[in-house]
Structure 1
Amino acid sequence: MLLNFQKHIDTHFSFLKSQKLLIAVSGGIDSVVLAHLAHQTNLDFALGHCNFQLREEESDGDELFVKELAQKLGVQVYTTKFATETYAQEHKLSIQVAARNLRYEWFYQLLKEQGYQYVLTGHNTNDNLETFLINLTRGTGLEGLTGIPPVNDQTVRPLLAFSRDEIKMYAIKNEIEWREDRSNASVKYVRNKVRHQILPVLQDINPHILETFKKSLEHLNESQQIINDRVQEVSKDLITTEGNITRINLKKLNKSSHKKAYLYQILHTYGFSEWNDVLDLVSAQSGKQLFSATHRLVKDRDYLLLVEIDTKGTEKSSYLIKEGVPYISTPIPMKIESTLQDKAENSDEIIVDSDLISFPLILRKWKHGDIMYPTGMSGSKKISQLFKDKKLSLLEKENCWILTSYENEIIWVVGLRQDRRFLTNSQTLTKVKLSLTY
């Protein structure tokens, strides 16, 4: 297996040979063998171990074992402990999902802090087949049937080409010790049910199921690549992005023969899963919307608008600009300065009579009923009508900022129109320029 592993690294993962690597080691056979193979291949690596504190003394024993393994191999080791059950309860997650989230967050933090480029995991062909079957039973598109990716961002899985039996035979032949996790024998977890109850039946039907599966994966991945190429080509005509808003042109989408399939390929990476609801949004009234955990999808006339949700809740609805402050960066970057300039050069700046404004100024979101006195016309105008004239989308309206005096008189619909009550004239002594600095 060592020669096959080294050939596999040379052929598919040669970039690893010049990088600093972190190997995720649980103490189980797969990750321990991976560490030994990496050592024999002269890769530059350290070990990383997570103690999830789920099996009391056994968990502590695993941690000690990994530390001793690092000492034998002569490499650095990093360990951490997690209150996994508490984290799972607080975030309403299963233990498995909680553990996965915790470990990958910690691994990526280590990469950044310690200067490692990739984290290597011990996933093998059996793990890949188990994932395939789990996705199949839960329902998935083609992408869910293409297996665990060998490289995903900074995570690399060099053992995916090897079966669990190959790994075990290598460990026994080379007298490599490992730790057994008793929970792996329990069938209360879905993956273990597949491993202990379904895979044996498939292997009885086809003793070469793992080799057959690897060939099928190659075909599925080739088919998925064809789909990706086609979606990328179609997306050039369907999708435009301005700032943080992505627009999907519904008139063009409706001309396609498989709009639901295109919507899936375009939107599934943003966490949407109820595809009938997404399809219904295409023909819904403007203003209807759907949410995923991270994104919002809004119907706006002839478009679907996609925008990321501010999950941290950091954006407030109003901000003060105190007198004498030359620059602000939140919520928008704006420069405030004295000027001799008479007129604004573009819509990203205004010139006002400093004697007509009272500090602190206020930047806030627009409200229904807001009225201004726009430059270039007589009388007043509702901000909502100004938005309508400019043909702003629902999200563009929501993202629009209003600059007012402390008495709440509108000075500027930022980036769109200035209020004429604050314009300079021949009697103006001092002027202030406010400009966006994107």
Structure 2
Amino acid sequence: MIKALQQHLNTTLPFLKDSNLLIAISGGVDSVVLTHVLKALNYPITLAHCNFNLRGEESDADETFVVNLAENLGVEVFVQKFDTTSYAQNQKVSTQMAARTLRYDWFQELTKQLEFDYVLTAHHADDDLETFLINLSRGTGIEGLSGIPEINDYVVRPLLPFSRAEIEAYAKENNLSWREDSSNASTKYLRNKLRHEVIPTLKALHTTFLQNFQKTQKHLQESETIIQDRVDEVFNQVVDTISEDAIYFNIEKIQALSSPKAYLYQLLNTYGFSEWDDVINLLTAQSGKQVLSKNYTLLKNRDYLILSKNSNLSNEKLKLQIKEGQNNVITPSGKLSFQEVEHITKTTANIIYIDKDLLKYPLCVRQWQKGDYFYPFGMRGKKKVSKYLKDEKVSLLEKERILVLCSGDDIVWIMGQRADDRYKVTQQTKQVIKIQLQ
């Protein structure tokens, strides 16, 4: 397995090798194997363990095990204790949801304070299958069936292509010790019920069931890409106006589509709507009717469905720092790579060339803000980012996702859009850096 994982890391996740990595470790076999393998491959790792205080002495024993493992491997470990039960009661959420929130909030805090580049979790192919079946049982679109993302912002899951059986086999072959969570044996939770009762039956029906599932999921991911391409085309067809605050969907054009309900779902599913019958009914409703999601309002106004952002919604705060010499960073928009080059070749919306000596480190990736301005490449004078995005007819959804790369207080690049003229390569440039968004 170690050779297969090394090959996977080299081909799919090469940026991890030179990154500062934090491994989320429970003490279970999955995270223990991930820790041992990356240590054997000389990856720069630190461990982070959450004690949720849900299983009394067993939780404390898990913590002791992880601390001893870190000492034996000669790696640093961080431990955080949580009063998960009280948090769940105060927030009125399930214990599982409380633990998830506490865990990832702490990981995010560690990455910011101690400048870790990525948090690695030990999710594997069987976890992916369980998630697929959970989403299937609850009802979902294709996006709910396309799998756990291998890279999601700063969280990376290197073991996702590998099965639980492969991971356990490696642990036994190498005489590794790990902890068993007694709560995993209970069928109280849906995931455990699927794990212990449903999935073994499916695997018994076909010996290659898991591999076949992975192939099917890959096909679903490819189909999702095709669907998104078509949805982008339809978006341009049915949207008449994009203003600073709203998108105007032409009802007549939507009704002329082969399946208005299906297209509306694809056009609007990222805005948090859940009552899809109410959404489709807006097409024939009286003016003034509206459907609300947590963050957005969809209003019927004569010939249009008008999508607008709720006034009480503030932008999520995102701030990723990029140190000098850091060649890759994962952002919500994709992987940002930096490479020193001798010459300028092809420049696109996703590839720019910058005078490196003008940059002030650390660089910063953040969301654009009201009042931001830059000097558009090839133009004289400055322009507000909001005005630029409006002139480029960037949709409301796209605006929410636009990030900027900054040097100090200057915007170097509206990522995927346009570079700043102040940082362009000139005859006086001594070092050229190619920046690419993938």
Q: What TM-score results when the alignment is normalised by the length of structure 1?
A: 0.68
Q: Flag the 1:22–1:301 CA change in 2: closer, same or farther, 3 A.
A: farther
Stretch moving more, 265-274 or 231-240: 231-240
Q: CA RMSD in A?
A: 2.1
C-alpha displacement of 1:298: 2.2
Q: Flag the 1:19–1:313 CA change in 2: closer, same or farther, 3 A.
A: closer
Q: What are the within-5 Å matches in structure 2 for residues 10-409 of structure 1?
A: 10-239=10-239, 241-309=242-310
C-alpha displacement of 1:182: 0.2
Cα deviation code 1:374-433 (max 9, x no counterpart): xxxxxxxxxxxxxxxxxxxxxxxxxxxxxxxxxxxxxxxxxxxxxxxxxxxxxxxxxxxx
CA distance in structure 1 between the aligned counterparts of 2:64 and 2:295, rounded to whole angstroms: 39
CA distance in structure 2 between the aligned counterparts of 1:265 and 1:18, rounded to whole angstroms: 38
Cα deviation code 1:296-317 (max 9, x no counterpart): 3222333323333355799xxx
Decide whether the 8 Å contact of 2:28 with 2:178 is kept in 1. yes
Cα deviation code 1:2-46 (max 9, x no counterpart): 000000111111121122121111111111111111112222221
Q: Structure 1: 5+ residue runs without aligned partners?
A: 315-331, 334-438
Stretch moving more, 144-153 or 289-298: 289-298
C-alpha displacement of 1:255: 2.3
C-alpha displacement of 1:67: 2.0
1:365 aligned partner: none
CA distance in structure 1 between the aligned counterparts of 2:312 and 2:194, rounded to whole angstroms: 35
CA distance in structure 2 between the aligned counterparts of 1:274 and 1:223, rounded to whole angstroms: 25
1:386 aligned partner: none
CA distance in structure 1 between the aligned counterparts of 2:242 and 2:19, rounded to whole angstroms: 35
Decide whether the 8 Å contact of 2:23 with 2:46 is kept in 1. yes
Q: Flag the 1:294–1:92 CA change in 2: closer, same or farther, 3 A.
A: farther
CA distance in structure 1 between the aligned counterparts of 2:45 and 2:236, rounded to whole angstroms: 42
Query: The residue matched to 2:97 in structure 1 has which SS?
Result: helix
Letter matched to residue 246 of structure 2? I
Decide whether the 8 Å contact of 2:295 with 2:313 is kept in 1. no
CA distance in structure 2 between the aligned counterparts of 1:270 and 1:63, rounded to whole angstroms: 40
Query: The residue matched to 2:67 in structure 1 has which SS?
Result: helix
Cα deviation code 1:329-372 (max 9, x no counterpart): xxx98xxxxxxxxxxxxxxxxxxxxxxxxxxxxxxxxxxxxxxx
Computing the radius of gyration from Cα coordinates, the structure with the larger value is 1
CA distance in structure 2 between the aligned counterparts of 1:121 and 1:200, rounded to whole angstroms: 24
Query: The residue matched to 1:297 in structure 2 has which SS?
Result: strand
CA distance in structure 2 between the aligned counterparts of 1:164 and 1:136, rounded to whole angstroms: 21
Letter matched to residue 256 of structure 1? L
Letter matched to residue 109 of structure 1? E
Residues matched between the structures, number:
316
Q: Matched residues, percent identical?
A: 53
